[in-house]
Amino acid sequence: MVIVRIVGGLGNQMFQYAYAKALQKKGYNVKIDISKFKKYKLHGGYQLDKFNIDIETSTSLSNFLTRVGFRRSTKEKSLLFNEDFLNIPKKAYVKGYFQTEKYFYSIRDILLKQFVLKKEIASTTNKYKKSIEAEKNSCSIHVRRGDFITNEKASKVHGICDLDYYEKSIKFLESQYKNIYFFVFSDDIAWVKNNLKLKNAIYINHKTIPHEDMYLMSLCRFNITANSSFSWWGAWLNDHKNKVVISPKQWLIEKENEVACDNWIKL
């Protein structure tokens, strides 16, 4: 039995689940541990249950781990891909974020079928959906501020994508494509409207229904991500044949990482 710990916001939960699913497809007997969410309430708590996932979950593991013979956990030491985590012992409790598609790109088709919303979307979401589908060149922009600004610890680790990044990204797309319509997702819409001048745009406050906002991002032909796992998944789930994804070159302030995919444009 291999147990993968799930923790963090929706994007992090999806990275950890995708890694667990990749292990399962290699023949491992896998469960996901969601016990942290008894106390972890940030970012809406546990949200994988909004999707069509099928790995068995557990919320109480201490007795189980002792019974099946677990002695210690295996922990990811960096955000760089480590192939050893795809060939772990058959009895392992795994902690990590696994923030690179290198762990699970081989099962992309499976994940596209599993990261599908189980319930009908809200009427407001459906209205945005129709607006996106009406535009040939729709582009999502994710501007994350929130805890990346107000939480000192998060700010020191992540930093924030500045206006220059967004302006360069928009300029690049507009030099290549005509009539782009922007769908802006942010937890600080007022700041975006005051600082990022856009001609054609709809603004969506993504504090309300995160999993549905991620779905809307995935419907856009183009994606401009923040240094956030939330918009990373919005872009990764984008299945347009000729999609273009722009992401920040520097995902974290100091740590080396491989979060942005190789075929994304990094600015």
Comparing 48-52, 145-149, 163-167, 238-242, which segment has the lowest mean pLDDT?
145-149
Does residue 67 register a pLDDT over 80? no
More confident residue, 153 or 105: 105
Distance of CA 239 to the CA centre of its chain: 15
Q: Does the reported pTM lie above 0.85?
A: yes
Please list the residues that pair with 185 across neighbouring strands.
142, 204
36 torsion bin: left (phi>0), alpha (psi -120 to 50), beta (else): alpha
Which residue, 224, 213, 211, 212, is CA-closest to 182? 224
List pLDDT tens digits, range 83-134. Answer: 999 999 988 899 999 999 999 999 999 999 999 999 999 999 999 999 999 9
In angstroms, rounded to a whole number, what is the distance separating the alpha carbons of residues 197 and 166?
10
pLDDT at 157 over 90: no
Strand-pair partners of 265: 246
Mean pLDDT value of segment 143-166: 64
CB 203 within 8 A of CB 213: no
252 pLDDT exceeds 90? Answer: no
- pLDDT averaged over every residue in the chain: 89
Q: Indicate the residue type of 201.
A: A
